[in-house]
Structure 1
Amino acid sequence: MMEYLIRFSQSHETFRLAEIQSLAIVEGIDLEVISYSNESPFCIVRLPSEEAAKALIRRSILAQTIHEHWGTAETYDELHAIIKRDTPHLWPQYKEVSFKINIDAYQGSRPEKRKLELINSFSYLPLDGLILLKNPEQKWTIFEQWEFEAVPKNLPDPLKIHFGRLVGHSVRDLIKTYDLKKRGYISTTSMDSELALITANIALAAPGKIFYDPFVGTGSFPIACAHFGALGWGSDIDGRSVRGEGGKKSLKGNFKQYGLEQLLGDVFVCDLTNSPVRKARILDGIVCDPPYGVREGLKVLGCRDPEDKDAWLVEKGKRNYRNASFVPPKKPYSFTAMLDDILNFAADTLVDNGRLSFWMPTANDEEQEIPVPTHPCLNLVVVCTQVFYKWSRRLITYRRLPDSEVDLSALAQRKREEQIKGHTADDLNSFRRAYFKGFKSEKTEATSDIKAE
């Protein structure tokens, strides 16, 4: 086992480790995280080999590069001592190669003259090859980690210094390839390319796997999964998003734009509570961004009032559902019931150890925070958070437990407790209600009412 340093991008900090750990599972790599903090883009890990390091990062979105770790210290004197002590056995193989040494100062800055002095301080390394600024055979990097606002504070030294040899690059440029601005068909709720690709990685999308999005929209998640080799399927209650715009722009057209047609299973119209997908354990992954019900209340197929005979368009639909003008009736749907239905669906359709990764909104106020839902058949893997102003959305990932590991008594209890409450869109959706009240707590509202009186 050898130590490697991962240089992450400076975005989506709570997603970074989750993605790398998921990619280790996809590649079948034994990964040990030695040190990591969301406050730093540097992560030191232990891996079996250089080949494993390259495999780990080759489809990462949040990492930038991975380096053979030669040393970490708080000062340059300490760093040089560590390198001279621990790495001489590596030096001979690089004696004659062309090379380059860079400086990467995170949250800090160095004058060019000082950079050159620091690079020259490594002159004890027996590197006799040519120094090439472009396309050298080997690259080493000095990573400096500075305190926040180190430049305006005019701080003299970094907090920590790392040194390593470049081993491999990520595929972060895929964000540009799948940029929504360049995509032929999108909607207001299309997930941006970076987060869609990260979700696919955390959900373990890979060749030979079947992935499904029950709220497919314009196809961001199946496209991301297809890029990594999975067969993408999807459905949506809104037939307009599935069909597209008169054949000119469509979800299938998006797959064609990226040359991924062969990895699109199919898309169809349904809602999660009235799905034609059989309760068979065949899906390797479910990835989705369910509707939050903010723009309008959540809906599912069905009649609001079953006693109203005139409302039973479903009866008429049995004869006329093929008509282009047919519009199936819908009724209000509970946000919390939707979360439960997603988990139930995953429990019924995922293979052993298959993953469910879905996005869920919540208020940032602890009093109004929506708890992470649970299910006896699903083990919570990780929760990653994207923070906005007064609310956040979380990517919640579960693993489907093998039946032998499921608590049957807890499963039976869950089935007894399941029920839908409320009658209006606001009653059924606590997040929607909080959103339009500016995420004010009940205590704050009561205080405001007293002051107003």
Structure 2
Amino acid sequence: MPKYIVLLAQAHETFRKPELEALAELEGLKVDLSGHDEKKPVLVVDLENEEQARLLIKRSILARGIYELWGFGQTWDELHEHVRKFPASKSAPYKNVSFKFDIISFQKSRSTSEQRDIMESFGYMDLTGPIRMKKPDETFAVIELYNNPHVQLKSDRELEAVYLGRFIANSQRDIIDKYDLKKRKYIGTTSFDAELALISSNIGLAAPGKIIYDPFAGTGSFLVAASHFGALAIGSDIDGRQIRGKKKHSITTNYKQYGLTDFFLDVFVGDFTHNPIRPKFKLDAIICDPPYGVREGLKVLGSKNPERYADKLPTKLENGDLSHLRPDYIPPKKPYHFDALLDDLLDFASVHLIDNGRLCCWMPTANEDYGERMIPQHPELELISTCVQEFNKWSRVLLVYVRRPRTTDGANLAFKDRRIYREQFRDKYFRGFHLTSKDDS
């Protein structure tokens, strides 16, 4: 079976394999990704043909491109030995077409003269076509990996591996710039990073014909990202100001900006704990970044002191009008703990996801606390991956669950005995993650 080199981005390394696994599932491809190494920017995979190679990375954000492998080695001599053995029947179609060489070096810089010497070392390939630096018929890439990254002089680093590949296809990594928040017309303080929103949508299997829901939509970062891949998006948020927008801009404005209005179902204002979506309404995926309670305390509708609001209940009239219909009415809110939110989110997903549907949700954690016990579980959901984005003393983790196939009538199986956050993340965040209590160890 032909081998191909996936050239990976040197960013968000723990997300790379889950994204490729999700894309392979979307395209119905069987590919072994066990060779992935988070420390290396290349991955060699077996695929049946070029078409499968294109399908695997055509919408990837964390892959840069894919190449047909012509040779590899731990030394230059080994590489040239392998290239010489590459079947002539496979290389013949590329002998007389225009071409160019790309020299891609990791952990080392190459001068122009060194690059030229490398290209000329492949003279035995007998490529008789013209060299064309712009829009050649074929591009050959020499990919060098060097170890000892802590050596100050790059020239002193040792060659770890070197590959020769024929370019097949690029990924969609270039769309990150298109969706950059700096260029977006409507954003807020909680708008999610465009690159990670797109990656989350890939891992969530957003695709044409699928319905994606974000119950904490904010300014619609995940909605837009999912719709870029053709999914129909619906969102909600307890903060009506973000849903309604400001001045002339709203989530709808962003959809118009990117030409995605055909994929926008709707958004509504609502408290997630009192969600109006009917239990029989099924979703293909839930992709969200639940509020952590950092910028403000996490709250839901209700009151710690119900008697305080007794005179504002809907049954009470003010000048003949129901109080909750008055334009100046502000519904009371009560504190809500993040661990309870995660419990409720998993319960909601168990009811509303289709069989094998995905829940992709972000969870913050202090680095000192992170471990298996911190990850919420549910009997109807299978945790398939955890992707970590590290900051200084804290991280946020993308938890990816799959809804297990239903063996009953699909009723909600509540699983409440899993209070994992003994101390609110918000408290630790503001005190700088110091003074950890013994109970947290």
TM-score w.r.t. the length of structure 1 is 0.90
Structure 2 counterpart of 1:15: 15
Matches within 5 A, 1:271-310: 271-308=271-308, 310=310
User: In the alignment, is the contact (CA less than 8 A) between 1:376 and 1:406 conserved in 2?
Assistant: no
2-structure distance, mates of 1:34, 1:389: 29
2-structure distance, mates of 1:273, 1:266: 19
User: In the alignment, is the contact (CA less than 8 A) between 1:8 and 1:42 conserved in 2?
Assistant: yes
1-structure distance, mates of 2:422, 2:332: 18
Structure 2 counterpart of 1:96: 96
1-structure distance, mates of 2:218, 2:51: 38
User: In the alignment, is the contact (CA less than 8 A) between 2:108 and 2:155 conserved in 1?
Assistant: no
User: Partner of 1:321: helix, strand, or coil?
Assistant: helix
Over residues 163-185 of structure 1, what are the superposed CA-to-partner deviations in whole Å (9 max), with x where a residue is unaligned?
10000001111111111111111
User: In the alignment, is the contact (CA less than 8 A) between 1:293 and 1:429 conserved in 2?
Assistant: no
Structure 1 counterpart of 2:188: 187
1-structure distance, mates of 2:342, 2:311: 27
Structure 1 counterpart of 2:219: 218
Task: Provide structure 1 residue ranges, at least 5 long, that are not aligned to the other structure.
Answer: 422-426, 447-453
Deviation at 1:126, TM superposition (A): 2.6
Deviates more, 1:93-102 or 1:208-217: 93-102
2-structure distance, mates of 1:158, 1:367: 36
2-structure distance, mates of 1:188, 1:428: 27
Over residues 244-303 of structure 1, what are the superposed CA-to-partner deviations in whole Å (9 max), with x where a residue is unaligned?
114x11111111111111111000001110110111251001011111001221101112
Structure 2 counterpart of 1:29: 29
Summarize the Cα distance change of 1:358–1:311 in structure 2 as closer, same or farther, 3 Å threshold. farther
Summarize the Cα distance change of 1:411–1:191 in structure 2 as closer, same or farther, 3 Å threshold. same
Summarize the Cα distance change of 1:71–1:398 in structure 2 as closer, same or farther, 3 Å threshold. same
User: In the alignment, is the contact (CA less than 8 A) between 1:306 and 1:312 conserved in 2?
Assistant: no
Letter in 2 for 1:126: D
User: In the alignment, is the contact (CA less than 8 A) between 1:363 and 1:369 conserved in 2?
Assistant: no
Structure 1 counterpart of 2:155: 154
Residue of 345, 367, 371 corresponding to 1:364: 367
2-structure distance, mates of 1:264, 1:55: 26
Over residues 129-187 of structure 1, what are the superposed CA-to-partner deviations in whole Å (9 max), with x where a residue is unaligned?
11111111001101001121456253164211111000000111111111111111101
User: Partner of 1:77: helix, strand, or coil?
Assistant: helix
User: Partner of 1:124: helix, strand, or coil?
Assistant: helix
Matches within 5 A, 1:9-408: 9-33=9-33, 35-147=35-147, 148-149=149-150, 152=153, 154-155=155-156, 157-246=158-247, 248-308=248-308, 310=310, 313=313, 315-316=315-316, 319-366=322-369, 371-404=374-407
Over residues 89-109 of structure 1, what are the superposed CA-to-partner deviations in whole Å (9 max), with x where a residue is unaligned?
312111211111111001111
Letter in 1 for 2:204: A
2:426 aligned with 1:432: yes
User: In the alignment, is the contact (CA less than 8 A) between 1:377 and 1:407 conserved in 2?
Assistant: no
User: In the alignment, is the contact (CA less than 8 A) between 2:106 and 2:144 conserved in 1?
Assistant: yes
Bigger proportion of residues as helix:
1
Letter in 1 for 2:431: K
Deviation at 1:308, TM superposition (A): 4.4
2-structure distance, mates of 1:405, 1:53: 39
User: In the alignment, is the contact (CA less than 8 A) between 1:377 and 1:406 conserved in 2?
Assistant: no
2-structure distance, mates of 1:63, 1:189: 27
1-structure distance, mates of 2:314, 2:363: 31
Letter in 2 for 1:299: K
Percent of aligned pairs with the same amino acid: 46
Letter in 1 for 2:172: V
User: In the alignment, is the contact (CA less than 8 A) between 2:109 and 2:154 conserved in 1?
Assistant: no
Deviation at 1:112, TM superposition (A): 1.9
User: Partner of 2:374: helix, strand, or coil?
Assistant: coil
2-structure distance, mates of 1:23, 1:311: 55
Summarize the Cα distance change of 1:306–1:192 in structure 2 as closer, same or farther, 3 Å threshold. same
Letter in 1 for 2:432: G
Deviation at 1:322, TM superposition (A): 3.5
2-structure distance, mates of 1:367, 1:22: 25
TM-score w.r.t. the length of structure 2 is 0.93
Number of aligned positions between the proteins = 436
User: Partner of 2:360: helix, strand, or coil?
Assistant: strand
2-structure distance, mates of 1:229, 1:368: 35
User: Partner of 1:341: helix, strand, or coil?
Assistant: helix
Deviates more, 1:9-18 or 1:221-230: 9-18
